[in-house]
Structure 1
Amino acid sequence: MNSEECIFCNLLRGHGEAVWIARRERASALRPLEADQLAPGHALVISNDHALGIQDASPQTVEAVALLAQEIAQAMSQVVGAGGVNILNASGADSDQSVLHFHVHVVPRWHADGLDTWPSTVSTHTLDHGWTSALQHALATASRP
């Protein structure tokens, strides 16, 4: 998907209706559609540049999204009395990502609010025995920004 077809990119360009919570240089936050809200006060933090997911977003974009999510989480405790937040992200074809644009959900939480955001199942996929060493090697030899 390119940025011309992306609903978040179109909203960022002013095409369509959005309730913006914050607009920053590299990231913005908006309210999801009411039918998609997991809790009152739920916010979406999106990258201002088009990236499909965290895997292909620039380090600066990931940082901007994370910092705005933190800002919103801090404000949620003051404004809506949330005692906690869940930060949710799905990136990539096999992650159940619904909008192919890097974003995180900031979901305010209250004691015994009835929402269960922790996975209730586990993957049945298996990995070869040496996956930890291979991952460590890949990280050690990767170029860093």
Structure 2
Amino acid sequence: MKIFRTFEEIIDYAIDKEMDEVEFYSEVASRMDRKHVKGLFWDIALEKTARMLRLEKMKDAKPELNLDEIKDMKITGSLEDVDHTRNDLTYQDALIIAMKKEKAKFKFYLNMAESAVNKECREAFLALANDEARQKLKFEIEYDEHILVEN
């Protein structure tokens, strides 16, 4: 069980998760054959990099959170069982994994926003949650337009 003791631990955890996703999306992009799919994954990796920078800036703000409420984020959940490094990762598999990752991160930032004591902190985490929801929607649209149509 992951327990956060300080705001900085939360931000460091979020930055680590964003870095993991940058690596994942970059790797998937390099393995995709379709140009627009490759571009989609590269774009998300760039957005994640920008988010890491925003998170670094949040460290300086020292917002207040009620850390007693933040005990277990359960970010990885069932994703730990998925082998992200498989060479035969299909386009459909990659999209499903991406949607799950974005949903988990959305929940993480939403939980952080609910634990925020001040307005600035709450708004910052809600903005991060919104970014994750937007990225998940991009993958869902891609899945709907290219996977569901093909099946």
Same fold (TM over 0.5): no
Q: Whose helix proportion is higher, 1 or 2?
A: 2
* TM-score, scaled relative to structure 2: 0.27
Bigger radius of gyration = 1
* TM-score, scaled relative to structure 1: 0.28
Q: Whose strand proportion is higher, 1 or 2?
A: 1
